[in-house]
A and B are shown apart, each in its own frame.
Chain A
Amino acid sequence: MDAMVRELSYAQAIQEAMAIAMDMDERVFLMGEDIGVYGGAFQVTGDLVERYGTERVIDTPISELGGAGVAVGAAVTGMRPIFEFQFSDFATLAMEQIVNQAAKMRFMLGGEVSVPVVMRFPAGSGTGAAAQHSQSLEAWLGHVPGLKVIQPATPHDAKGMLLAAVADPDPVMIFEHKLLYKMKGPVPEGYYTVPIGKADIRREGRDLTIVATSIMVHKALEAAAALEAEGIDIEVVDLRTIRPMDKQTVIDSVKKTSRLMCVYEAVKTLGIGAEVSAMIAESEAFDYLDAPIVRLGGAETPIPYNPELEKATVPQVPDIIAAARELVKGVR
């Protein structure tokens, strides 16, 4: 019998996944800033400290570099830490441990250790938090062999991919868009995993493939629904994992639709869209393209405070609609 499916928010789904992981494996524990009685800056850990105690839900000092290193050291020596960064921007303080240590330790030691650490990064703009609390830095980490980098877009995937991350022997970086935390969706009860490295076709279509990540998946779906009335049939591929990337799903989709658009919130240049575009250009799907590839990414600017400016820095539904219409019909 299928597990009971309920509506949970994205944040609740993550919290449930962490609770299940801790119930199943005593090596799993949580670390982060203000994740205990405060419940986490975005209330993702919520009341877990009451259920699992301060031994397994550990408030760290405001020490991102040291804290990340402690998580790496614990992972290498037998524990399964889940480390929460309060904002993904603060990864910049911990880059040394993430990039030089977590990602490379297994390799440098010739396979003698694994680093089963999970790091969670609340990311993205839209909360009025301005330039240092709104960035999308997933491509930075996606550039590092040794790391796995995922961006679940739905409550269902947030739970299943977190449980897959905890079971994974290698370091998994999870970028969670802050605006998704309150989004609700169907989530099965109990344990299940959603595989890392597998994209998902959220909507099938014939005319255009939109490869989107995280919150942009929802915006792309909204745009696709709007364009249906105009007879434009869009396929939306939720990339879900940016390293290792599920190339085949994207290639197959582009071969079917002959058009590709990449939609992502991070700064457009040198980002995920560049990688997906180049990957398609190098693949057999290149011969199937009927139009140039289009990238919709973030503006070449830090995220501004003013709400109208803030919105203008990242792709919005009307931008996607306009770009898709032009790509398919040649007119705006």
Chain B
Amino acid sequence: MAGASKAVADSRANLPFVYRQYSAEQLKQVLHKMYLIRRFEEGAEECYTRGLIHGTMHLSIGQEASAMGICMPLAEDDQITSTHRGHGHCIAKGAEVKRMFAEFFGKTTGYCKGRGGSMHIADVAKGNLGANGIVAGGIPIAVGAGLSSKMMKTGKVVVSFFGDGANNEGAFHEALNMAAIWKLPVIFVCENNGYGMSTSTARSTAVKNIADRAAAYSMPGVIVNGNIFSEVAEASHQAVARARAGEGPTLIESKTYRHRGHSKSDRNRYRTKEEIEDWMSNRDPITLFESELREFGFIDDKGIEAIRDAVAQEIADGIEFAKASPSPDIRTVQDYVYTEQA
């Protein structure tokens, strides 16, 4: 997806990767989507607090650059598997927020017709095979999708998103090994936000970097600052190229942070206010990306304001759409358990 013309590219020769690779329009679109993810989750949180959404949810606020950077080089028919903290992945892969809100509200117009909710949000038409409530549950499934791609010669690349907690599950190790021995077009993306629920990676994980695990499976292990969009996108770009060339999988560790707690039950007793405050004030991925866009002349205050306004409208419309949508008929309680056969 090379958006920048040659003359423009030359003038950007010393800028970070994405500013050489993509057009101003594409980059503004990225900022738009980062805001969309942020405001979607803030909106969902507010609806939850007001009792409009039940259950629980896991917010990825603070991790937007990771979702967007990884999905940037993906084509529409490339596929992802996602996690319980998967709203950002879903939007980054192309989902509409109104249908996501509708799912959170449990409505028939939701992506899962109200059967999945936040933890199973999916958009199969856009290649999102679904968030997963089981830590590491989606990783072997992504390898299976990669096997399909190879056997059917579709050229599709599959990204498996997971968190740092998943790196201590057996499924992670079994899946990476199989992807490596069969050279499958799969990209394993560990969004390391420092904590598996309350347990820090320092307390849970024997290696310093989760990317170090890649050595055990003879694949590249790449560490990026997950809060810097360009760094993430560049690593993803290289991993996608490697996968498409038939050279096999890559493990990317995207080091990031979630501003909110693990889920709605979290009292944040395992980390300090200062730590959270530092990440929010000094390393917010949207602020960082916005500053770069401004500094390199891709956008001005007016442009940013326009994006924020457009996103606010989209969120308000999405919530209205969800509210106005019908709930499932109770008589359909057993639908979709099995495939309906004529």
Contacts and interface: CB of A to CB of B under 8 A. Distances in A.
B130 A69 contact: no
B171 A69 contact: yes
Given A29-B151, A73-B147, A79-B152, A106 B140 contact: no
A66 interface: yes
B114 A110 contact: yes
Contact of B120 (A60, A109, A169): A109
Interface string B163-174: 000000011011
A68 B178 CA distance: 12
A43 interface: no
A40 B152 CA distance: 25
Contact of B171 (A65, A112, A114, A146): A65
Interface in B122-171: 122, 124-125, 129-130, 132-134, 137, 139-149, 151-152, 170-171
Interface in B39-83: 79, 81
B140 A70 contact: yes
Given A73-B148, A77-B145, A107-B336, A66 B134 contact: no
Given A78-B148, A100-B134, A146 B170 contact: no
A73 B140 contact: yes
A101 B141 contact: yes
B124 A112 contact: yes
A71 to B, nearest CB: 6
A109 B149 CA distance: 21
A299 interface: no
Given A96-B171, A107-B337, A113-B124, A66 B177 contact: yes
Given A100-B137, A101-B137, A67 B174 contact: yes
Interface stretch (B105-113, B287-295, B313-321): B105-113
Interface string A48-84: 0000000100001101011111111111111101000
A146 B339 CA distance: 9
A169 B341 contact: yes
A80 to B, nearest CB: 10
The listed residue with most B CB atoms (<10 A of its CB), out of A76, A78, A170, is A76
Nearest to A112: B124
Contacts of B111: 109-110, 112
A126 to B, nearest CB: 31
Contacts of B174: 61, 63, 65-67, 69
Contacts of B339: 106, 111, 114, 169-170
B334 to A, nearest CB: 8
* 8 nearest A-B pairs in the assembled complex, by CB-CB distance: A73-B144, A69-B140, A66-B174, A110-B113, A73-B141, A63-B174, A110-B112, A169-B339
Interface of B: 79, 81, 110-116, 120, 122, 124-125, 129-130, 132-134, 137, 139-149, 151-152, 170-171, 173-175, 177-178, 181, 335-341
13 contacts: A61-B174, A61-B181, A66-B173, A70-B144, A70-B147, A76-B145, A100-B134, A101-B132, A106-B337, A108-B115, A109-B124, A111-B339, A112-B122
Interface of A: 27, 29, 55, 60-61, 63, 65-79, 81, 96-97, 100-101, 105-114, 145-146, 148, 169-170
Given A79-B148, A105-B130, 8 more contacts: A66-B175, A73-B146, A77-B129, A109-B112, A109-B122, A110-B113, A110-B115, A169-B341
